[in-house]
Amino acid sequence: MGTPPLAAYLHTTVTVTAVVACYRFMISPTVRAIAGRPTPLILVTSIAPAVLLILLPSPDPGPIRWFALFVITMLTWQGVTSDYDVTEPIGPQRLDKQLLLVLGAVSCFWPPALLAWMGVYCGKLRGWKHHAMMPLRLLKAYLAWFVVATLCETSGSSPALLLVLGCVSLSHYVKPAWSKARLGPRPWSWAWHNRTHYLIASAYSWGWARFLRPETVSRVLRRARGFDRPINILAMAIEAVGLIAFLDRRLLVAVLAGTALFNLAVALASGILFWENIGTNIALAITVGLLPAAEYDAAAFGWPAALLALAVLLLSAADLLWQPWHLGWWDSPFTARVHWQVETASGEQQGLYNGFMCPYEREFGRVLGYFLTSEPVLHDHLGIVWDRRLRDLIVHADGDPDRLRNLKETYGRAQKDEQLANEHVDFLTTMFSRLNSGVPKGPLPRTLRWLKAPGGQLYRWGDLPPYRGDEAVRRITIRYEERCYRPATGDFVLLAHDVLHEIDLEPPKPDHGSPSCAKSSSTAAPTSESC
């Protein structure tokens, strides 16, 4: 094929610029404004202006329509099947789930309905979470393209849509590569010096794959530590190669498939499952591979298209378009975490793991509960730190309680907060009192719970068998635990196991209504929409 005409690239550049501007200054602020508003207000403020687009001819996204349909279906499934917050009235939550299902179906045929769909999903059903950000931003970009193509009556703008969607997806990997390159004095410091096998150890301590024996995990870690540098280099390469992905269609397909495999490897190693990203990028890779060459190769690939994509990716990495997370840190073998356990009506002790705490499974799987303890905390989720020197000091402490205590007093920060602690206790008391009274946990009957969308924080194992709601709960115990993997010996050491609070619940009573709770959760922050 000869050199693509300059006019095709110019048309793509103008359209991409208009779509990105619409996303940044129109779609994103609107979603941010309506998310969390009362449901009738969401419908009025989002559907009313969108109805005006009916009067104009609709653009044809081509085969990309099927990709958008897949993402809408995937996220609608997640929102509809997630559990209720039982501290709030169930009726309005059930109606919001039904409305999301209807709006999702309408959006598949009429994209402007996506604005109302996003308002319900992000605000009412708490869908704006880290793991859903990338596919949600793809839908925002798809809606922005539809608006631009409709208002400007641009034909042949599908290559621009592909380029924007590709940039949105790949920016969520380019940004972490940039973040890792900034962690040390040199761009390759993280790749050369991070001990990534500590992530496996910390995830095991945190509650991932605890069905494996410690001896088995220690053997895996001894073998894995020799692959730290090759794995780190490969990880950064997969994240950064998106900068040149639009040079060739086959390269873009390979990069998208590589990111899906990368997310799968992260899930196996750490229990952090980006299933939304995996499904989205596989679907996008298939879509790209099936696009007609005559229409797309001339305007969406090659040096001019790659330079345009590079500009968009760099702007997004600088947080000027949308804001992917940094995801760059140093892994350490020490973890301090708050755990919850219950005593059932029959007297059995069971672990209350984050899988049961949906729709707050992400909060209960991360660092929730530090406000209950006066212990200084050194790290974030899974023992991660942002200072290599601190990582080295933790490693050299080798699980020694006195040395770790000195590190906590020097570098740690106590997060105790009486108000948050009281709100959290009230939340747990209300939640389990209502569950004991027979309030349904989720929209699916027990026999169909296998149809529920998976969670993203897989820390559902511990020292006790998991609580699954089979019995009423009569006591909740909240504990603070410190665990450390000792690299020198391969041992997992329990350093602290302290009771922070105990909640005694009254015997179950008949449910006479659905009183609302003043605060649904002490930790689930208000929905926040970043650009």
The per-residue pLDDT for 4 is 55
What's the CA gap between 213 and 40, in Å, rounded?
52
The reply to whether 407 and 287 lie within a common domain is: no
**Which residues touch 342 (CB under 8 Å, ≥6 apart)?**
349, 350, 351, 352, 432, 467, 473, 475, 476, 477
Residue 211 lies in a domain: no
User: Considering the domain boundaries, does residue 514 fall inside one?
Assistant: no
Same domain, 235 and 158: yes
Number of independent structural domains in the chain? 2
Where is the domain boundary, 318, 344, 361? Answer: 318
| Domain-located, residue 278 | yes
Q: For residues 281 and 395, state if they share a domain.
A: no
Q: Is residue 527 part of a domain?
A: no
Q: Is residue 263 part of a domain?
A: yes
Structural domain contains residue 327? no
| DSSP H or E segment with residue 424 | helix 418-436
Structural domain harbouring 57: 6-191+229-318
Same domain, 152 and 267: yes
pLDDT in tens, the chain (531 residues): 444 567 778 888 999 999 999 999 999 999 999 998 999 999 988 887 777 788 788 898 999 999 999 999 999 999 999 999 999 999 999 999 999 999 999 999 999 999 999 999 999 999 998 899 999 999 999 999 999 999 987 766 789 999 999 999 999 999 999 999 999 999 999 999 999 999 999 999 999 999 999 999 999 999 999 999 999 999 999 999 999 999 999 999 999 999 999 999 999 999 999 999 999 999 999 999 999 988 888 889 999 999 999 999 999 999 999 999 999 999 999 999 999 999 999 999 999 999 999 999 999 999 999 999 999 999 999 999 999 999 999 999 999 999 999 999 999 999 999 999 999 999 999 999 999 999 999 999 988 999 999 999 999 999 999 999 999 999 999 999 999 999 989 999 999 999 999 999 987 655 444 333 334 343 334 344 444
Pair (276, 340) in one structural domain: no
Are 255 and 387 found together in one domain? Answer: no
Virtual CA dihedral for 41, 43, 47, 49, nearest 10 degrees? Answer: 0
CA angle, corner 349, sides to 376 and 207, nearest 5? 50
CA pseudo-torsion sign 54, 55, 60, 61 = negative
Q: Which residues have CB under 8 Å from 71's CB, separation 6+?
A: 135, 138, 139, 280, 283
Cis peptide before 359 (omega within 30 of 0): yes
For 149-172, give the DSSP string.
Answer: HHHHT-SS-HHHHHHHHHHHHHHH
Residue 50, domain member (yes or no): yes
Domain finish residue from 318, 342, 360: 318
Q: Is 357 helix (H, G, I), strand (E, B) or coil?
A: helix
Is 0.85 surpassed by the pTM of this model?
yes
User: Partners of 467 in the beta sheet?
Assistant: none
**In terms of domains, do 37 and 132 share one?**
yes
Write out the H or E segment, with its range, that includes residue 201: helix 197-206
| Dist CA 139 CA 72 (whole Å) | 8
pLDDT at 520: 39
In the block, tokens 């309408």 appear at 106
Q: Are residues 311 and 337 in the same domain?
A: no
In a domain? residue 18: yes
User: Are 289 and 378 in a shared domain?
Assistant: no
Phi (first) and psi of residue 59, to 5 degrees: -75, 160
Could you tell me whether strands 334-344 and 349-351 are parallel, antiparallel, or unpaired per DSSP bridges? Answer: antiparallel
**Domain match, 300 and 439 both:** no
Predicted local distance difference test score (pLDDT) of residue 20: 97
pLDDT at residue 511, rounded to an integer: 47
* Rounded Cα distance, 489 and 485, in Å: 9
Reading the block at residue 173, the tokens are 């990997």
In what side-by-side order are the strands of the sheet with 349-351? 349-351, 334-344, 473-486, 491-504
Backbone dihedral angles phi then psi of residue 181, each to the nearest 5 degrees: -65, -20
Claim to verify: residue 384 and residue 238 sit in the same structural domain = no
- One-letter amino acid at 275 equals W
Tell me if 437 sits within 8 A of 514, measured CB to CB.
no
Do residue 396 and residue 267 come from a single domain? no
User: Collapsing DSSP states into helix, strand and coil, what is residue 60?
Assistant: coil
Query: How far apart (Å, rounded) are the C-alpha atoms in residues 368 and 424?
Result: 10
- Contacts of residue 28, Cβ cutoff 8 Å, sequence gap at least 6: 140, 322, 529, 531
With H, G, I as helix, E, B as strand and everything else as coil, classify residue 513: coil
- Domain boundary residue, one of 318, 343, 378: 318
Structural tokens at position 383:
């023992």
Structure tokens belonging to residue 91: 């009726």
